Amino acid sequence: MHYGASPPTIKAVPPTLDLAIQQFLDHLRVERELAVATVAAYGHDLGAFARFAAGRGVAAATAVRPVDVLDYLVALTGDGLSARTQARALVALRQLFKFLRHERICESNPTEEIDLPRFGRKLPVFLTLDEVDRLLAAPGRSTPRGLRDSAMLETLYATGLRVSELVKLRLFDVNLEAGYLVAFGKGKKQRIVPLGEAAVTALRSYLESARPHFLRDGAGASVDFLFLTRLGRRMTRQGFWKILGGTARAAGIFKAISPHKLRHSFATHLVERGADLRSVQAMLGHADIGTTEIYTHMSRAHLRGVYDKFHPRA
């Protein structure tokens, strides 16, 4: 998020902290068009700080001092919350006060000189190649439902889409002849992601032999969506979670599984086979390559494991 850096002129009547937070959330929702869940997360973190500040007698947004922010982070530590949670709270406050400076509500940003808490980045969990193969082979392809489930799973593993992106795909977002699809990620950012041969084949079978079955009773407003339920409605995130869980059990995979683990598997398997990080970043839709760099650590761990297992002097 970038805001102008020119010194602001403070408005005559500063808003309360609660009102300032609401203005910021409206900005995220309307102008930046962030997802509902993202705006809600900001609201949760900022609301917690507002309650803490109110307990100290700080009512106005302009009255918040660096010591208030520091004491809040200390209070989070005392409550047993992790460094990651503290960092998220600080990031939310930073963005709030950047916005308030830009809107000439606050003269300074009380979070500027406060460093983010240090925490180790947790390595994501992913499926092995054998587990992926079993998962993708599990749906029976002799029924419309099996063809649909197979197409969804093949597409997810082939592209690394988020589940929210997968279920929002429309017919015109997929080009099977050219072998790619267009995804719309966070902030409605558009990206083009290649489709592998297996995914193209599964999608073509679904479109030709299964999707018309789900349209039989009329899909109404869902007619343009790629993946449909048995009632002809757009597939939901919750619906796909259930499909994935059932398919995993049928494949003999009993570890905890989620759509995001298929996304992690997609990225991990690419990096392990030499894909460059910038390409993986583009396909995943990461705004910051630092988010993608975690897969290089996983690749190094993979190489270390191979070396330890096979080198005679390891």
Q: Give the DSSP letter of residue 16.
A: B
Q: Give the DSSP letter of residue 170.
A: B
Q: Which of 162, 211, 261, 264 is catalytic?
A: 162
Handedness of CA 102, 107, 113, 118 (dihedral sign): negative
DSSP assignment of 48-71, as one string?
HHHHHHHHTT--BGGG--HHHHHH
For residue 281, give both structure tokens.
């970043």
* Distances in whole angstroms, Cα of residue 155 to Cα of each of 150, 161, 171, 206: 8, 8, 13, 12
Q: Are 45 and 88 in contact (CB under 8 A)?
A: yes
Q: How far apart are CA 20 and CA 32, in angstroms?
A: 17
Encoded amino acid at 250, one letter: A
Q: How far apart are CA 300 and CA 307, in angstroms?
A: 10
Q: Which of 94, 263, 264, 269 is catalytic?
A: 263
Q: Which of 29, 56, 286, 302 is catalytic?
A: 286
Instruction: Determine how many CB atoms are found less than 10 A away from the CB of residue 163.
Output: 21
For the packed helices 144-159 and 197-205, what is the interaxial angle rounded to 10 degrees? 150
What is the separation of C-alpha 79 from the centre of its chain, rounded to a whole number of angstroms? 27
> Is residue 84 among the annotated active site residues?
no
**Which helix (DSSP H) or strand (DSSP E) does residue 213 occupy?**
helix 211-214
> Is residue 269 among the annotated active site residues?
no
Q: How far apart are CA 182 and CA 173, in angstroms?
A: 5
> Is residue 104 among the annotated active site residues?
no
> Is residue 3 among the annotated active site residues?
no
Instruction: Determine how many CB atoms are found less than 10 A away from the CB of residue 31.
Output: 8
Encoded amino acid at 147, one letter: L
> Is residue 134 among the annotated active site residues?
no
CA angle 294, 300, 302 (to 5 degrees): 105
For residue 133, give both structure tokens.
């193969």
Q: Which of 260, 264, 278, 302 is catalytic?
A: 260
Q: Which of 56, 145, 170, 186 is catalytic?
A: 186
Which residues are tagged catalytic?
A: 162, 186, 260, 263, 286, 295
